[in-house]
Each structure stands twice: as C-alpha cells, then as structure tokens.
Amino acid sequence: MVHQRADSRLEWWKCCSIYQIYPRSFQDSDGDGVGDLNGLLSRVDYLAWLGVGAVWLSPVYRSPMRDFGYDISDYTDVDPLFGTLTDFDRLVAALHERDIKLILDVVPNHTSDQHPWFVESRSSRDDPKRNWYVWADPDADGGPPNNWLSRFGGSAWEWDARTEQYYYHAFLQEQPDLNWRNPAVRFAFADVLRFWLRRGVDGFRVDASAVLAEDPLLRDEPPNPDFDSKTPPPERFKRVFTDARPETMSYIEEMRAIIEEFPDRALLGEVQGGIDRIGQFYDAERPRFHLPLNFLLLDTDWDATSLAAGIDQYINAIPDDAWPVWILGSHDKPRIATRIGIEQARIAAMLLFTLPGTPIFYAGDEIGMPNSVISSEEARDQFEALVPGYGLNRDPERAPMRWDGNEKAGFTSGEPWLPLGDHVKERNVAAQLSDDRSVLSLYRQLMALRQTEPTLHSGQFQPLRSQSQVLLFERCSDDRRLLIALNTTTGSHTVALHDRGMLRLSTHLDRLDEPVASQLHLRPNEGVVMEMLTSSL
C-alpha cells in the first residue's frame, strides 16, 4: 500500500530525520587526515540517498582546537582546517538543492581565550570589554572566589596575573565564559546568529545552553549527596548555582526571537538537569527551543521495562503541545552499537524512528559503527587528559566514518586523526550498500517508512504493557493503527494480540506483508512494525 508523504503542513523539523555530522571525522578531501567541508560536499548525494532531511553540523568556526572547535576564536569565519566561507556557502547550496536543511552548532556560553573579545577583556580592568566575561576578585584567603568546579576538572576559576582577578570557565581554562548578563554580549551574539541565517543556515543547535547564567552572588555549590569513589571529581558538588538558572531562560527566549526574524528556521538546544527539567526549555507562552535535545535512549538501561518507564517519564515531562525529540547517537556519548551490541542496535533504530517526535542519529550509526578502542595514553580529548580513569574519553565515538573496507576506510588518503577501530571490513558503507539486509538498509527503510507514513510522524502515541521484555506501543491516527513490538532479548518470544494485522517491516528485513492472527512470534533481537486491521478476532 502506498501512503502520502509527510504532512506538508507540519514544520520541516517535525517531519525530517536529523543526521549529526562531526566534521573532523566525516570525510577528508585534502589528505591531512581530518575531515573538511569539501569532503562533506562530496558525500551530499549519499545523504540524499539515505533519506536524511537535515544535517546538524558540529562547529567549523576558527578555533585553536583545544576542544576541537568548541573553543571559538572567530564566530563568523570558517577555520582553514575545514575550508573557507565559500566552501560553506557551496555546501549549503548543495544541501538545499537536495531538499536537506542545515543546522549549525553554535556555542554561546564561552569563547576561546584567543578570541579578540577575551584578548581585549583581559588586557585591563578598564577595557570596554572587561565585563563581557565573568571576572571576580580572589576570596579572602587569596584563592578562587568560590568552590565552583570546571566540568573538565579542577577549579572553574583561572587567575590572571596581569589584572589580578579570576575569570570563570565552566569547561577548559582556555574557554572563558561570556557574561550573558551584559546586554552588549547578547547584542553581539544576536549579530552572530543573523550572520549565519543570512547565509542560508536553517537553524542552530545551541551548545551547553543551560549554563549561560551563573549566580550573581557567587554562592558556593552544596555537596553532591551521591558523590562516591566512582563519581568523577568534577561532580563533587551539586550544580545549583551554575546550571539552569532562571535568567538562562530569558537568554534562550532572546535567541528564539532572532530565529523568528527569518522564516522557516529552528532552534535546538543541548540542555542539562535531567528529564524532570526538560519541559521548561519549551514554554509555548514564551517560546524557547523548538527541540530541547533528549538523550534518554542513550542513558537508559536497555530492557523493555526501563525503556517503557523512561519514555513515559519523558512524554509526561514535556508540555502537552510540545514536540518530542529523540537522540540515538552523539559525538559526546558512547555509540549505541558498542553499548548494546549490533543486533540490539537494530532494535534501537526501529524505536528511534517509530516514537513520536523528531529522530536524531549520528553519522556512522546507520552502519552499526562501534566505538574505536583508544587508551588514555593515546587520547586526544582533553576531558580524558584532565579527568583520567572515569571513562570520559570522547575520542572512541569520534573515530572517522568508514566508507569502504580499505586501509583508510575511504575517509582519507593520509593518516586518520583518530584510529578507525574494529569491524571496518563489514561495517562500512560500501559493504552494506550491496546487502539488502544490512543495518544501512534498515535505516534507509525506516526513514522512508516514517517519511511516507503519516501515522508515524504525526499520529498519537499509545503505550502498551510490555510482554516478556518485548516493548510494545501503538501509533494511531483516524484510520490507521500501527503496532510496534521490540524484542529487547536474545530469546524468542510470543506476544498475544487482540486484533489481526499485517507485518510491514522487521528489523531482520525478511518479513514483508505477512499476515498475523492472534499471536505475534518474535525471533531473538527482532522488532516489527505491524499494521493492525480494524476487524477484531
């Protein structure tokens, strides 16, 4: 049966699947071992073939690369490592020609310490840009102003001998925090957003959005009651005075207002504080993010009971008219195929594309890429270097994309900036293109099904009680009912049904238009989408 395409009345960010690209690791065009814009441009046809509707591109701004682009020294230029502004414009045009949107990562919380704003700010206490950053006098004992800790380890305050004050940095000491209480900072950042919007960017993903404001009284953080020997040292205190402060919401509202100056754009945000806080980042009366990013699928224990509970908690935590969003992979989180295994990664993919809301996945998830094995000694990530021994190294999930099974995986003609990892021969695009039951084929079929099946992108969500660790739910519209059944175990299970139905897709990709009567038999690690027929047995 052929169904109409996604409802054209829905905004694009509700209809499409979003694909995150970490540019260093996607495709290298000049042999230096680091991905770049021209490399990405050469793969645009692949993105169109795959069926993604939008690309979320991690930072490509000028940067000293202490945090691989999240330490920005110029918000309105491209780092030569990635190319030029002309290359960026060519990329935007090529994506738009294929009806693919571009969402650009933006970092408002901090700059590089090499940004001209900070160079001026630290030059003198009297400099006009002094108050563009967060400066404070020493405590009475001459030490840092309070007990705030950097998320990358150690004090969040760095002494500046020239001006005899400390500056605040929530992350690396080379990433001083901007002072968002200063209207001049907010005006300057609004101009940054407009610069890229005028170049055709379709939206932004706002990095570390919940930490834009700090307590103006600089009060000490309270102890973390859950802190123990297994907890990373930066989490010794609860982040009450440096995370999700009320003022932050007004700053996000100002960013949203800039977005609204341009038609058909979207604002996504990285938020902190757990599921119970995520609803405040929507707020329809005072618009904030279109999509506050939700990492529940990456943080929940992988069994039907835990998943059902987590999904229910999230759905109930966001406003009734809010649009959900789900993330299955990220440059900051271990890859799903490593976390739960390649067979269950297929289950995760079906879950991602059948839940209500917008699905986001990370380049390489569609071929079941695993984490690369990178020791602490080999780590490039400063997080691991500064807080070793707690599994915080993000290099493993940032390993280069595998385009073929050759020595350099089709990523580069030089030496890849990170090791490629294991299973390159079978988990690469070329190998899976020729396999109609591959993970890549599954992703493509799931995205096509979601795009062409109105019930999946805009139908109601109806949870069902799990049976034998089979996660069950329905997506319903006026004339259609789809049952999604996901076996989260390595054993076979049978699910009792009240209605007959027709199997439309299996994660094994070998069952199509198969009638089902009173019982649904699921093989190990199998998930299915089934159209339920209206007549009852």
Catalytic choice (45, 261, 264, 301): 261
Tell me the residue type at 143.
G
Is 207 a known active-site residue? yes
Whole-number Å distance between alpha carbons of 177 and 234: 17
Is 513 a known active-site residue? no
C-alpha distances (whole Å) from 129 to each of 77, 114, 126, 157, 250 are: 21, 14, 8, 19, 22
E strand or H helix at 3, and its extent? none
**In degrees to the nearest 10, what's the CA dihedral of 340, 341, 342, 347?**
-40
Whole-number Å distance between alpha carbons of 427 and 491: 25
Catalytic choice (28, 71, 79, 207): 207
Q: How many residues does the chain have?
A: 537
| Residue 327: closest CA among 302, 303, 351, 301 | 351
Ramachandran area for residue 163 (φ above 0: left; ψ -120 to 50: alpha; else beta): alpha
Per residue, the 3-state secondary structure of 240-277, as one string, reads CCCCCCHHHHHHHHHHHHHHHCCCCCEEEECCCCCHHH
Whole-number Å distance between alpha carbons of 199 and 449: 32
C-alpha distances (whole Å) from 508 to each of 13, 344, 376, 436 are: 29, 11, 37, 10
C-alpha 127: how far from chain center: 37
Q: How far apart are the first and last CA of the chain?
A: 23
Catalytic residue set: 207, 261
